[in-house]
């Protein structure tokens, strides 16, 4: 590490001495050798995970600031302070300290607003990051476990957001907790006891905020931090996936080295994310709790919205018809609450968590994948993802149905009625449409590969026939459109072996095969070289009939088109 | 003719198959296309033109300068701007926030610009290896485990293994049992079934607890009500969360009392629990013409003229009614507590 051939500068010498000192005590050289030039592929969508990471760091920084001034107590106090409308009001220490933090601590309001915006962006970036991982198939072997780690992070993010939102003890957060209490009580048999366990007795009690505080600032962040560590460890271990393109295979990784390019880009990007969050905290008011007042079980304001990532639950509760509550042998089973608040989210989240394993089973694919899928090339998965998102989106809309009603002057009951139907119909329609779109995009890819780009140049032949000149794809463009394999439905062994003995495990195989057909029956195969040759010689036929013989060799036509041969090396002349 | 533009004599099949190899199909054509390999590197402006590189460097310096300015603005705002009024707080928030934002965005954009325009943009290719360890390593690992098991000498000592598993499985109870046991404090969930209302408790206005005379309540009006003596409760908010009531006066002709509840209203004045039977929000919005009460949380709608039955939304049960009458001084009082548990349903609600 110390053998420099050029005369070292003073800083160079100091750096070398430090490195030497450290290496003799930590053998850090090994780690530097391993990581310094590690290659990461570049794509804007790979930044989404980074946005999540950096908003989490911002949450830690701003959150630590808030803990210095927030008092997590439900002890009652009387407000005295600069905010005149609250003067003399009874409130908890939690709410009073939130007011103090906002009005009497310089920079306190800024830190509160940055913290809240960071939480919203954190959740949004996790969700979009998850979508990118899903739609590109980045969860395939060997990354299934990292998908599960990421999924757990999503759940922990929800927990962090929920517990944090409840801390200031204003009317909105108190109402949120009241709803939580109602949902918990609906759980069969143990509901009432769970409610007592959470609130330390009856709602609202005096224990909840200190309890939430410990969860919010210690347990959940510690778990998130540990799991982010594991998540990134996996990313390094697996090496990041890459989008398909020439030269990119499952056996290599093409990109830029960690040091210096990513150190600068990713490090800089942290400051950009933090900076944008600061800009939001500076200019956009969020959760102005002083407008809502301290929690009291009696008042409520219409049009109050929970944070966006909770809206789907709110919407789900709103859509459910009340009739579903039943009494069995004197015991009350509140299906009108259980289904929307427990069963529906449970189903949506389980589908997400388990999808990689389902896909692995029904595709029968046991290979490692490091080149991402183009979403169009996996129509079932893409359509399924869009369907789940659509269901989620309908619930979010339902969670804002009152705002929609007042904004567009529509009847609330009508909107709810339409959304009840949409919850079942829209995902199916979205599935069907997305699948069609994917298949036709694939057909368009085939078309392009076989016949080239339309050049908008029309040529007239001696025979009087007009033909548009087509420009063939260069080999890099073509490779992008032919590199994938269309997955085919599973083939399984027959139910009986040669001696007519029924095979064990046939039924589960048959089930897998049925699901597999559903996944992969409709597919478009990529163009093969033979097909391309056939297309060209077919075009040549047309051409030969139509043009003078001496011109024929230069003409490579596709179907009814002429293809203009270009130099495949001239990559920069692509359309 | 246009197709003559390029003096080009490659036979056409070659255009399609350049570089093709691999499995060769029946017609001598490969079954799949072959990866043409990385595209050639395209240099950036700053690679070709030293002036562009110099310019990029200057821009980077300026961006770092913006960051330093941002920090100065922040500090100036911190030391110079007072708090006190709401305008002052907003002004301080804006100044500090913008200062911080520029301090951070300056560094961030400078670093990214530097990386994009001045650092090498030659893509590097690294190999990947299968994630699983090599067969030799696996063999050694399996061997190590087998040796360890052998060394531990537990192979045939079933009872020992059982005792180990048993003690490990049981000891967490020492933490979990008291933790869970204490979390619910007295665990007396029957409190869900009673509220602060008793026979003779005066209905009083929320929040200032003034008792209400029947004659003060005009037709069509709504009063938010608490028990007059609520402040005497040990846990005021816990009791308030169950005892809040809405008092509404209808035209007596509009009122259709349920069988058995004929004496529960007083001259068209009815009192209903304000705690939604869905999941417990305060049912706070009253529509005079329709006599509908609307819960803002999930829009359950209750018809006050017909025993507060559900006419829309996710709630199943009507709001519980508080039987009322007037005392000798003309004040509205409760005849008793609610006759059923208020608020959201729970498993043993009817037991
Ligand atoms: C606390 C929240 C999260 C943080 C901070 C985070 C951060 C990151 C980062 C920085 C990367 C590498 C860059 C990238 O591909 O974007 C990454 C990759 C990944 N994340 Fe997350 N993530 C979070 C949540 C999730 C969730 C909710 C999922 C899915 C359920 C997920 C699944 C994955 C997977 C499978 C990869 C590997 C992707 C690949 O190599 O292409 N992550 N994550
Ligand atoms: S709490 Fe009233 S409708 Fe849900």
Residues B254-284: pLDDT tens digits? 888 888 898 999 999 999 999 999 999 999 8
B91 vs A565, more confident: B91
End-to-end C-alpha distance for chain A, whole angstroms = 48
Instruction: Name every residue whose Cβ is closer than 8 Å to that of residue B232 and which is 6 or more positions away in sequence.
Output: none
CA distance B336 to A480: 78
Would you call A179 an interface residue with chain B, using a CB distance cutoff of 8 Å?
Answer: yes
Task: For residue A327, give Cα distances in angstroms to A182, A188, A368, B98, B99.
Answer: 17, 11, 52, 58, 61
- Which range has the top average pLDDT, A32-41, B112-121, B320-329? B320-329
pLDDT over 70 percentage in chain B: 92
Instruction: Name every residue whose Cβ is closer than 8 Å to that of residue A311 and which is 6 or more positions away in sequence.
Output: A305, A395, A396, A399, A400
Question: Which pLDDT score, from 0 to 100, does residue A135 have?
Answer: 98
Express the helix, strand and coil content of chain A in percent, nearest 5 each.
65, 10, 30
Question: Which pLDDT score, from 0 to 100, does residue A539 have?
Answer: 57
Say if residue A234 is in the same domain as residue A360. Answer: yes
CA B348–ligand 2 middle distance (angstroms): 20
pLDDT-derived band at B1, boundaries 50, 70, 90: very low
Beta A466-471 vs A561-563: how paired, if at all?
parallel
**Is A93 among the domain residues?**
yes
Q: Any idea of the CA torsion for B59, B63, B64, B68, to the nearest 10 degrees?
A: 140
Of A34, A58, A161, A183, the C-alpha closest to A115 is A58
Question: Which pLDDT score, from 0 to 100, does residue B279 have?
Answer: 95
Least CB–CB distance from B94: residue in A246, A282, A537: A282
Residue B199, token pair as written in the block: 């026979």
Closest protein CA for atom 30 of ligand 1: A151
Question: Which pLDDT score, from 0 to 100, does residue A500 have?
Answer: 81
CB contacts, 8 Å: A247 with chain B: 35-39, 125
**Is A152 among the domain residues?**
yes
Of A297, A4, A83, A48, the C-alpha closest to A176 is A297
Say if residue A511 is in the same domain as residue A369. Answer: no
CA distance A456 to B113: 39
**Is A485 among the domain residues?**
no
pLDDT-derived band at B29, boundaries 50, 70, 90: confident
Of B194, B271, B196, B266, the C-alpha closest to B227 is B196
Task: For residue A29, give Cα distances in angstroms to A32, A256, A356, B126.
Answer: 5, 21, 38, 20
Question: Which pLDDT score, from 0 to 100, does residue A462 have?
Answer: 82
Question: Which pLDDT score, from 0 to 100, does residue B122 have?
Answer: 87
Say if residue A363 is in the same domain as residue A507. Answer: no
Q: Is B280 left (phi over 0), alpha (psi -120 to 50) or beta?
A: left
Say if residue A202 is in the same domain as residue A345. Answer: yes
What are the start-end ranges of the E strands in A465-517? 466-471
Instruction: Name the minimum distance, in Å, from the CA of B154 to any CA of chain A.
Output: 32
Question: Which pLDDT score, from 0 to 100, does residue A303 have?
Answer: 59
Whether the link from the prior residue into B188 is cis, omega within 30° of 0, is: no
CB contacts, 8 Å: B315 with chain A: 322, 336
Task: For residue B156, give Cα distances in angstroms to A22, A210, B144.
Answer: 49, 50, 19
What is the extent of the structural domain holding A510?
A: 490-522
Core vs surface per residue B175-194: b (16+ CB within 10 A) or e: eeeeeeeebbeeeebebbbe
- Beta-ladder partners of A85: none
* Domain end marker among A335, A352, A373: A373
φ/ψ (deg, to 5) at A545 = -65, -30
Of B289, B261, B272, B266, the C-alpha closest to B217 is B266
CA distance B145 to B140: 9
CA distance A375 to B15: 28
Q: Are A227 and A156 in contact (CB under 8 A)?
A: yes
Nearest-5° angle of CA B169, CA B175, CA B179?
Answer: 130
Per DSSP, the three-state class of A486 is: coil
Question: Which pLDDT score, from 0 to 100, does residue A6 have?
Answer: 58
**Is A239 among the domain residues?**
yes
* Domain end marker among A522, A537, A563: A522
Taking 50 as the threshold, does the pLDDT of residue B5 lie above it? no
> Domain count of chain A?
2
Least CB–CB distance from B16: residue in A190, A295, A533: A533
Question: Which pLDDT score, from 0 to 100, does residue A507 have?
Answer: 87
| Dihedral sign (CA A524, A525, A529, A531) | negative
Q: What is the 3-state secondary structure (H, E, C) of A67-114?
A: HCCCCCCCCEEECCCCCHHHCCCEEEHHHHHHHHHHHCCCCHHHHHHH
Question: Which pLDDT score, from 0 to 100, does residue B19 have?
Answer: 37
CA A514 to chain centre: 29
**Is A419 among the domain residues?**
no
Question: Which pLDDT score, from 0 to 100, does residue A551 have?
Answer: 38
Question: Which pLDDT score, from 0 to 100, does residue B247 have?
Answer: 95
Question: Which pLDDT score, from 0 to 100, does residue B4 have?
Answer: 38
Q: Are A19 and A4 in contact (CB under 8 A)?
A: no
What's the pLDDT tens digit per position in A410-464? 888 899 999 999 999 999 999 999 999 999 999 999 999 999 988 888 888 888 8
The pTM of the full predicted model, rounded to 2 decimals, is 0.89
User: Interface pTM (ipTM) of the complex?
Assistant: 0.89
Residue A519 C-beta-side C-alpha neighbours within 13 Å:
23
- Beta-ladder partners of B226: B204
**Is A515 among the domain residues?**
yes
Residues of chain A with pLDDT under 70: 1-7, 301-304, 538-575
Q: Where are the alpha helices (DSSP H) in chain B?
A: 12-17, 45-48, 50-80, 86-117, 135-152, 158-170, 173-183, 236-243
Question: Which pLDDT score, from 0 to 100, does residue B27 have?
Answer: 55
CA distance B231 to B218: 27
Taking 60 as the threshold, does the pLDDT of residue B170 lie above it? yes
Best mutation site among B241, B294, B297, B343 for ligand 2 pocket (most ligand atoms within 8 Å of CB) = B297
φ/ψ (deg, to 5) at B25 = -80, -175
**Is A470 among the domain residues?**
no
Does ligand 2 come within 6 angstroms of the Cβ of B298? Answer: yes
CB contacts, 8 Å: A36 with chain B: none
Residue in chain A lying closest to B29 (CA) = A530
Taking 50 as the threshold, does the pLDDT of residue B6 lie above it? no
Taking 50 as the threshold, does the pLDDT of residue B342 lie above it? yes
CB contacts, 8 Å: B109 with chain A: 268, 272
Burial class (CB in 10 A: 0-12, 13-18, 19+), A222: exposed
CATH number at residue A319: 1.20.810.10
Question: Which pLDDT score, from 0 to 100, does residue A374 have?
Answer: 97
Question: Which pLDDT score, from 0 to 100, does residue A151 have?
Answer: 98
Say if residue A226 is in the same domain as residue A81. Answer: yes
CA distance B50 to A176: 60
Instruction: Classify residue A400 by its DSSP letter.
Output: T
Least CB–CB distance from A272: residue in B11, B109, B350: B109
Burial class (CB in 10 A: 0-12, 13-18, 19+), A131: middle
- Beta-ladder partners of B113: none
Question: Which pLDDT score, from 0 to 100, does residue B42 have?
Answer: 86
* Domain end marker among A321, A343, A373: A373
Helix (H) or strand (E) holding B205: strand B203-205
Does ligand 2 come within 6 angstroms of the Cβ of B315? Answer: yes
pLDDT-derived band at B293, boundaries 50, 70, 90: very high
Per DSSP, the three-state class of B42 is: coil
**Is A75 among the domain residues?**
yes
């Amino acid at each position: 590490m110390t053998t420099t051939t050029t005369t070292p500068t003073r800083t160079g010498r100091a750096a070398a001495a430090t490195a030497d000192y450290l290496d003799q005590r930590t053998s850090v050289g090994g780690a530097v050798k391993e990581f310094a030039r590690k290659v990461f592929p570049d794509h804007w969508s790979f930044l989404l995970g980074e946005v999540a990471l950096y908003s989490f760091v911002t949450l830690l920084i701003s959150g630590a600031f808030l803990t210095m001034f927030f008092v997590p107590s439900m002890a009652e106090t009387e407000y005295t302070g600069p905010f005149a409308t609250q003067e003399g009001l009874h409130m908890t220490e939690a709410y009073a300290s939130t007011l103090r933090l906002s009005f009497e601590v310089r920079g306190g309001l800024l830190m509160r607003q940055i913290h809240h915006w960071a939480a919203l962006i954190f959740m949004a970036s996790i969700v979009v990051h998850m979508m990118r991982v899903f739609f590109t198939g980045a969860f395939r072997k060997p990354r299934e476990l990292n998908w599960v780690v990421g999924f757990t992070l999503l759940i922990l993010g929800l927990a962090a957001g929920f517990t944090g939102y409840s801390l200031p003890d204003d009317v909105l957060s108190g109402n949120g907790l009241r709803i939580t209490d109602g949902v918990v009580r609906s759980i069969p048999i143990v509901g009432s006891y769970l409610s007592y366990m959470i609130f330390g007795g009856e709602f609202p009690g005096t224990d909840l905020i200190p309890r939430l505080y410990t969860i919010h600032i210690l347990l959940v962040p510690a778990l998130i931090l540990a799991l982010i560590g594991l998540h990134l460890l996996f990313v390094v271990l697996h090496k990041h996936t890459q989008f398909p393109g020439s030269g990119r295979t499952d056996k290599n990784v093409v990109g830029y080295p960690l040091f210096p390019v990513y150190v600068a880009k990713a490090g800089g990007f942290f400051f950009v994310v933090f900076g944008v969050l600061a800009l939001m905290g500076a200019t956009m008011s969020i959760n102005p709790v002083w407008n809502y007042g301290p929690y009291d079980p009696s008042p409520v304001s219409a049009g109050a919205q929970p944070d966006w990532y909770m809206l789907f639950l709110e919407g789900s509760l709103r859509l459910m018809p009340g009739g579903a509550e039943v009494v069995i042998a004197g015991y009350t089973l509140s299906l009108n609450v259980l289904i929307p608040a427990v069963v529906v989210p449970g189903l949506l989240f389980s589908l997400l968590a388990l999808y990689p394993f389902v896909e692995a089973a029904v595709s029968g694919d046991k290979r490692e994948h490091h080149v991402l899928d183009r979403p169009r090339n996996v129509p079932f998965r893409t359509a399924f993802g869009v369907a789940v998102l659509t269901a989620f989106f309908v619930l979010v809309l339902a969670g804002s149905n009152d705002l929609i009603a007042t904004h567009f002057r529509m009847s609330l009951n009508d909107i709810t009625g339409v959304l009840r139907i949409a919850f079942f119909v829209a995902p199916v329609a979205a599935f069907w449409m997305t699948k069609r779109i994917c298949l036709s995009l694939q057909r368009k890819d085939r078309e392009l590969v076989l016949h080239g780009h339309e050049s908008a140049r029309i040529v007239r032949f001696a025979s009087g026939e007009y033909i548009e000149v087509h420009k063939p794809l260069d080999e890099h463009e073509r490779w992008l459109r032919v590199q994938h394999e269309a997955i085919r439905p599973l083939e399984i062994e027959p139910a009986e072996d040669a001696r007519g003995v029924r095979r064990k495990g046939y039924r589960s195989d048959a089930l897998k095969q049925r699901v597999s057909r559903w996944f992969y029956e409709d597919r478009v195969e990529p163009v093969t070289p033979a097909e391309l040759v056939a297309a060209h010689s077919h075009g040549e036929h047309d051409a030969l009939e139509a043009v003078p013989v001496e011109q024929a060799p230069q003409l490579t036509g596709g179907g009814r088109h002429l293809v203009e041969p270009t130099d495949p090396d001239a990559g920069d002349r692509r359309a | 003719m246009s197709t003559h533009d390029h003096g080009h004599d490659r036979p056409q099949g070659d255009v399609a198959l350049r570089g093709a190899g691999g499995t060769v199909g029946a017609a001598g054509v490969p079954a799949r296309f072959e990866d043409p390999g990385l595209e050639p590197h395209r240099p950036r402006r700053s690679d070709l033109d030293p002036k562009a590189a110099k310019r990029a460097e200057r821009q980077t310096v300026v961006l770092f300068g913006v960051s330093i300015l941002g920090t100065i603005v922040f500090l100036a705002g911190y030391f110079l701007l007072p708090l006190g009024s709401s305008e002052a707080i907003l002004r301080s928030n804006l100044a500090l926030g913008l200062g911080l934002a520029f301090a951070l965005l300056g560094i961030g954009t400078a670093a990214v610009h530097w990386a994009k325009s001045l650092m090498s943009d030659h893509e590097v290719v690294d190999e990947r290896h299968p994630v699983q360890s090599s067969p030799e390593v696996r063999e050694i690992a399996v061997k190590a485990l087998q040796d360890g098991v052998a060394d531990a000498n537990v192979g045939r000592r079933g009872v020992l293994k059982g005792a180990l598993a048993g003690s490990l499985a049981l000891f967490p109870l020492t933490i979990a049992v008291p933790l869970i046991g204490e979390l619910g404090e007295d665990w007396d969930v029957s409190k869900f079934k009673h509220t602060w209302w008793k026979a003779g408790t005066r209905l009083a206005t929320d929040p200032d607890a003034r008792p209400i005379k029947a004659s003060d309540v005009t037709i069509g009006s709504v009063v938010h009500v608490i028990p007059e003596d609520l402040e005497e409760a040990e846990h005021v908010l816990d009791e308030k969360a169950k005892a809040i009531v809405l008092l509404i006066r209808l035209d007596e002709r509009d009122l259709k009392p349920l069988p058995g509840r004929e004496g529960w209203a007083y001259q068209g004045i009815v009192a209903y629990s304000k705690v939604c039977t869905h999941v417990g929000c305060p049912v706070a919005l009253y529509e005079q013409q329709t006599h509908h009460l609307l819960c803002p949380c999930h829009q359950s709608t209750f018809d006050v003229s017909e025993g507060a039955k559900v006419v829309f939304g996710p709630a199943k049960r009507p709001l519980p009614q508080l039987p009322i009458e007037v005392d000798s001084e003309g004040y509205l009082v409760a005849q008793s507590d609610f006759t059923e548990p208020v608020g959201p349903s729970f498993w043993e609600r009817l037991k």
